[in-house]
Amino acid sequence: METETNHMITRYLEGKMSPSENEAFERRLESEPGLLDQLENHGLVTSLQRRLRSVAVENTLAASRKKREETQLKVVHRQKRSRRFLYWAVAASFLAAAIYFTWFDNPELGDTIYYAMLSELSPADGVRSSKGEAEFDQGYRAYLAEDYAESSRIFSDLVAEDESNLVNRMWLGMSRMQEKDYQKALQSFESSRLDEFIYRDRVQLLKAMSLIRLDRDIEATAILNQLIDEGSDYAKEARKLLKYAKP
Amino acid sequence: MDMINRGGVSRNEAVSQLYAQTEKIVFATLSRMGLGRMDIEETTNDALIICIDNICSGKYRQDASLGTYIVGIAKKCALNVLRKNKRKSQLDTPGEEEEMALSPEDLLLTRERNQDLRAALDELGSPCNELLLLWANDYSYREILDIMDYANENSAKVQKFKCLKRLISIINSQQGLLDVE
């Protein structure tokens, strides 16, 4: 009987039953728990279960591997994000430093730099005046001897004699700058004919220096920017001086 | 071990843990044997599948730790791969191959056979393939009822056999490979 049932189960599983036989067998399955148990323990069923189990385990392994890979990918992405953030942070720091030094870090135009620049801007050959050469020489020698009170007095007299003499006005201005009388120095440089003057750019720089010392940085910046924009021979000096003008 | 024998969700968790715990050592062992990355991944899979099968069928006698056991199986699987790839020269000792060869039973579980079965399951379609895989992974009928829509355990059982019958028919029509153990 058992062998007969086993044979029937095999025929059922292998699809060798007629449709009516098949239907009858499945009805029995629903009502006979014993038959279900026999079917459960049939060799073909247990063999298939084992092989199907290996597929199920394979699926689980694939899911585990995928999960791990996703986790690793997330870690890699996180690291990349951190690295990218670091790059941006470094770049931002450089940018901030550049902005700071360009716009905000305006060192004082201290005496050392001030006098060095003033010395650079003093014409080496004296730039002779066309009038009153003897007096001019006295003033020039006083200036070279660092007797600025004397040079100021002499050039002041020369300017009083001829206000249109821009060379004398320039030397007077420089003498006053040496005396730290920036306001008067500026007055010496001012002239409606300045644009015609051969040393106009040099005088403009001297004016900018005086303005910076008087904390009139906006006016100084305008003069210096103009020299830079015009491509003046003194553009390099203007850029250097611009560092000391507060925005 | 218990989790694996319990089946169902517990087994899935155990398999994931086992994979995480043994992956590195198996990878290192198979690398030393000269397997490529793809072969290593597939061989690790095979080793774990055979290990789970041996635990479920009571063949694993706990003579060695589970990790050592898996590495041993992985080596056997690797030898099969090397043999297939004609890379015998990389074997450590000439006698090792015979000693460590896989049994025909184990070979039944290799991925080539699984691929055939997977193709048949695909053809079987849903929900039959899902039901059969849950059953094969020893989910209890109570668990199956939680996941799938069947009136009661008995009807799930009957449905399972109907699905199994269809699967056998598909396999026979495809290749006629099905053998009773």
> Among A78-92, A206-220, A233-247, B109-123, which stretch is predicted with the lowest mean pLDDT?
B109-123
Exposure of A28 by Cβ count < 10 A (0-12 exposed, 13-18 middle, 19+ buried)? middle
How far is residue B155's CA from residue B144's CA, in Å, rounded to a whole number?
11
Contacts A48 to B, Cβ<8 Å: 136, 164, 167-168, 178
Residue A178 CB partners (closer than 8 Å, separation 6+): A115, A118, A143, A146, A148, A151
- How many domains would you assign to chain A? 2
Judgement on whether residues B59 and B92 belong to the same structural domain of the protein: yes
Our CA-based measurement puts residue B94 at a distance from the nearest CA of chain A, in whole angstroms, of: 31
Q: Assess whether B71 and B20 both reside in one domain.
A: yes
Residue A56 contacts residue B136 (beta carbons within 8 Å): yes
- Considering its fold, how many domains does chain B have in total? 2
The stretch A130-158 carries a mean pLDDT of 86
**Contact list, B158 vs chain A (CB under 8 Å):** 26, 29-30, 36
Hey, of A51, A65, A66, A72, which one would you mutate to test binding to chain B, going by the most B CBs within 10 A of its CB? Answer: A51
Q: B132 with B92, same domain?
A: no
What is the mean predicted confidence (pLDDT) over A233-237? 90
- Check CB contact of B107 with chain A, cutoff 8 Å: no
Instruction: Tell me whether residues B155 and A29 touch, CB distance under 8 A.
Output: no
pLDDT mean over A217-229? 93
- Claim to verify: residue A34 and residue A133 sit in the same structural domain: no
Assess if residue A60 is contained within a domain: no
pTM: 0.55
Q: Establish if B156 belongs to a structural domain.
A: yes
Whether B31 is in a domain gets the answer yes
Q: Of B55, B73, B103, which closes a domain?
A: B103
Tell me whether B113 touches chain A (CB under 8 Å).
yes
> What is the Cβ-side half-sphere exposure of residue A61, based on CA atoms within 13 angstroms?
24
Domain boundaries, position A157: 111-242
- Residue B27 CA to residue B118 CA, distance in Å, equals 26
Q: Are residues B96 and B123 in the same domain?
A: no
Flag whether pLDDT at A147 surpasses 90: yes
**In sequence order, what DSSP letters do the residues of A21-64 get, joined into one string?**
HHHHHHHHHHH-HHHHHHHHT-HHHHHHHHHHHHHHHHHHHHHH
Q: How far apart are CA A166 and CA A171, in angstroms?
A: 9
End-to-end Cα spacing for chain B: 25
Structure tokens at B141: 């009928």
pLDDT of residue A201: 92
List, for residues B38-83, the tens digit of each pLDDT value.
Answer: 888 888 888 888 888 888 888 888 777 888 888 888 988 888 888 8
Residue with the bigger pLDDT between B84 and A145: it is A145
CA B12 to chain centre: 13
* Residues B95 and B116 both lie in one domain: no
ipTM: 0.78
Contact criterion met (CB below 8 Å) for A169 and A189: yes
pLDDT at A149: 94
pLDDT-derived band at A206, boundaries 50, 70, 90: very high
A140 shares its domain with A234: yes
Q: How far is A92 from chain B (nearest CA, A)?
A: 41
pLDDT on residue B181? 42
Collapse the DSSP code of A106 into the 3-class scheme (helix H, G, I; strand E, B; otherwise coil) and give the result.
coil
Residues B92 and B8 in one domain: yes
A50 touches chain B (CB under 8 A): yes
- The residue range of the domain holding B155 is 112-174
Q: What percent of chain A has pLDDT over 70?
A: 92
Of B103, B134, B154, the domain-final residue: B103
- Contact residues, chain B, for A46 at CB < 8 Å: 181
pLDDT-derived band at A129, boundaries 50, 70, 90: low
Minimal CA–CA distance to A243: which of A112, A113, A94? A113
Q: What's the rounded mean pLDDT across residues A83-111? A: 80
Q: Residue B97: what pLDDT?
A: 47
| Cα–Cα distances in angstroms (integers) from residue A87 to residues A84, A92, A95, A111, in the given order | 5, 8, 12, 41
Provide the pLDDT for residue B98.
47
- The list of chain B residues with pLDDT below 70 reads 86-113, 175-181
- pLDDT tens per residue, range A61-78: 888 888 888 888 888 888
In this complex, do B165 and A15 lie within 8 Å of one another by their Cβ atoms? yes
The long-range contacts involving A150-154, CB below 8 angstroms and separated by at least 24 positions, are A151/A175, A151/A178, A152/A176, A152/A179
Crossing angle of the two packed helices A43-99 and B128-136, in degrees rounded to 10: 100
Which tokens hold the place of A184? 């008067």
Say which residues have a Cβ less than 8 Å from residue B141's Cβ, sequence separation at least 6.
B153, B156, B157
d(C-alpha B142, C-alpha B152), whole Å = 9
State the best of B6, B54, B109 to mutate against chain A, taking most chain A CBs within 10 Å: B109
Spatial distance between the Cα atoms of A139 and A171, rounded to a whole number of angstroms: 8
Mean pLDDT of chain A: 86
Does B181 map to a domain?
A: no
Do B116 and B86 lie in one domain? The reply is no
